[in-house]
Structure 1
Amino acid sequence: MDYVTQIIDPPPSQPQLLLDGLRALRKPKLDGAPELPKARLVRSAVELPATGIAAYGRACGFRHEQGVPLAYPQVLAFPLHLMLLTRPSFPYPASGMVHLANRIRQHQRLHAGQALRLEVYCERWVAHPKGQALSIATRAYGADTLLWESDSLYLRRDVKNPVGEPWADVLPLQEEGLLRTQRWVLPADLGRRFAKVSGDFNPIHTSLIGAKLFGFRRAIAHGMWTLGRALAAEQPPGGLDQAQAHCDFKLPIFLPGQVALWRRPVSGPRREFEVRNFAGDKPHMRGLFIWNERLK
């Protein structure tokens, strides 16, 4: 697909992103199949800020010696995701798009102060059993070398006759040998606190009233916080060279609340895990984390 590159420097302010989100609450009803937006949004030099990394680390439980968290570049790219989803050319309202999954790969070690070229674009439609899904690609380059990449899957529910290849990239997890290893107590203001470091001020995470407007009985935790917290629990000290993380988001985590990390026994640089309720019968997120192995 031929994309039209747009350089986004400087990035829009948070108030502008919120205003664009309000304007995108309503979209004309589609007549026919949706068209994939052709914009490739680019920020040419985005610093990995030490202060931002530290704030994200505190929010998710990372230690300084763990280096740049694997999912942190997603924070820098999030405004570009919002810009794509709130553009007039995007066929659905941004509100109500559900974050279903994330696939992250890091090819080289990242460092605080390093400058990245970020590119974000709508990669493909995916036919999901619950509606129309969309994969948004994020690529981070240093000196024309791909250093880090992610693919984020978003879902628009209740779309009939979705287009694209059927969604089949679901993480397996064997129940045998799965152990509860940690309990996390989540405060009521977790969504607001994580919004300040991630830039995701979606009201379903930050406001009881906002959450109820979208059908939730209480505010819910950010999926990317859940991923970050799990990676912080699993990642060894010393930083990451090559690494990958896959996660599928399941049931929402209501705030305040408590959840637990369940995982298979440790076996080298590979972790299979699931964040569940404390009893272990309701899954919130399933994940796979592999580090410092050559990626295929």
Structure 2
Amino acid sequence: MEYVTQIIDPPPSHTQLLLDGMRALRKPKLDGAPPLPTARLVRSAVELSPAGIAAYARACGFRREQGVPLSYPHVLAFPLHLMLLTRPTFPYPASGMVHLANRIRQHQRLHEGHALRLEVYCERWVAHPKGQALSIATRAYSAGALAWESDSLYLRRDVDNPVGEPWSDPLPLQEDGLLRTQRWVLPADLGRRFAKVSGDFNPIHTSVIGARLFGFRRAIAHGMWTLGRALAAQQPPGGLSQAQAHCDFKLPIFLPGQVALWSHPVTGPRREFEVRNFAGDKPHMRGLFIWKESQQ
């Protein structure tokens, strides 16, 4: 597919992104298959800011000795995701798009103060049993080499006859031997606090009223906060050279509330895990984390 590259420097403000989202609340009904947007949005040099990393680390529970969090570059790229989803050429309203899954791969160690070239584009449509899904690709380059990448899957519910390859990649999980290893107590303002460091001010996360407008009884935690918190609980000290994190988002986490991390008591650089309610009978996120510790 031919993409049209657009340099986005400086990025839009949070206010502008919110306004664009409001303008995109209504879209004309589609006739036929949805067109895949052809824009490739690029930020040429985004600093891995020590202050930004520290704020993100505090929000998710990372420690400084763990280095740059594996999930942090998603925060830098997220405004570009919103720009794609709120453009007039995007066939669906951005509001109501559900984040289904994320696949992250890091190819080299990330260093505070270094700059990344970020490229974000709509990669492919995916036919999901509940509607039309879309994969948005993020690629981050350091000194011309691919350093980090992710694929984020978003769903528009209740779309008839979805196009694209069938969705068939749920993460497996070995249930035998899974143990509750941590409990997390989540405050009512967690969504607002994480919005300030992630740039995701979706009202379902930041406001009870906003959440109710979209069918939730209370505000819900960001899926990417849940992933970040789970990685913080398991990422070793010393930083990562190569790593993968895959996750499928399941039931929402209502705020305030409490959840628990369930995982296998194994050693070595591989973790299969779930974030569940404390009783362990309702899954909120399933994940796989594989890493290679950095050699300094």
> Which TM class, normalised by the smaller chain length?
over 0.9
Cα distance in 1 for residues equivalent to 2:257 and 2:148: 33
Structural mapping, 1:1-296, within 5 Å = 1-292=1-292
The number of equivalent residue pairs is 294
Q: Secondary structure at the match of 1:271?
A: strand
Cα distance in 2 for residues equivalent to 1:115 and 1:262: 35
Cα distance in 2 for residues equivalent to 1:70 and 1:293: 12
Cα distance in 1 for residues equivalent to 2:168 and 2:255: 31
Cα distance in 1 for residues equivalent to 2:47 and 2:202: 24
Q: Which runs of 5+ in 1 are unaligned?
A: none
Q: Secondary structure at the match of 1:122?
A: strand
Root-mean-square deviation (CA, aligned residues, Å) is: 0.9
Q: 1:272 to 1:164 in 2, by over 3 A?
A: same
String of CA shifts for 1:165-197, please: whole Å, max 9, x gaps: 001111000110000000000000000000000
String of CA shifts for 1:233-280, please: whole Å, max 9, x gaps: 000100000000000000000000000000012231000000000000
Cα distance in 1 for residues equivalent to 2:5 and 2:224: 27
Cα distance in 1 for residues equivalent to 2:13 and 2:268: 43
* Pairwise CA distance, 1:39: 0.2
1:221 partner amino acid: A
Using the size of structure 2 for normalisation, the TM-score is 0.98
Identity %, equivalent residues:
89
Cα distance in 1 for residues equivalent to 2:148 and 2:87: 25
String of CA shifts for 1:9-42, please: whole Å, max 9, x gaps: 0111111111000000000000111010000000
Cα contact 2:42–2:117 (8 A) shared by 1: yes
Q: Secondary structure at the match of 2:152?
A: strand
Q: Which runs of 5+ in 2 are unaligned?
A: none
Cα distance in 2 for residues equivalent to 1:118 and 1:138: 7
String of CA shifts for 1:64-103, please: whole Å, max 9, x gaps: 0000000000000000000000000000000000000000
Cα distance in 2 for residues equivalent to 1:140 and 1:266: 32
The list of structure 1 runs, each at least 4 consecutive aligned residues, that deviate by more than 6 angstroms after superposition, is: none
Using the size of structure 1 for normalisation, the TM-score is 0.98
Cα distance in 1 for residues equivalent to 2:189 and 2:293: 37
* Pairwise CA distance, 1:293: 7.7
String of CA shifts for 1:143-176, please: whole Å, max 9, x gaps: 2100000000000000000000001111000110
1:29 partner amino acid: K
Cα distance in 2 for residues equivalent to 1:14 and 1:187: 23
2:233 partner amino acid: A
Cα distance in 2 for residues equivalent to 1:267 and 1:133: 36
Cα distance in 2 for residues equivalent to 1:234 and 1:16: 36
Q: Secondary structure at the match of 1:215?
A: coil
Cα distance in 1 for residues equivalent to 2:191 and 2:32: 37
String of CA shifts for 1:39-60, please: whole Å, max 9, x gaps: 0000000000000000000000
1:234 partner amino acid: Q
Cα distance in 1 for residues equivalent to 2:267 and 2:249: 24
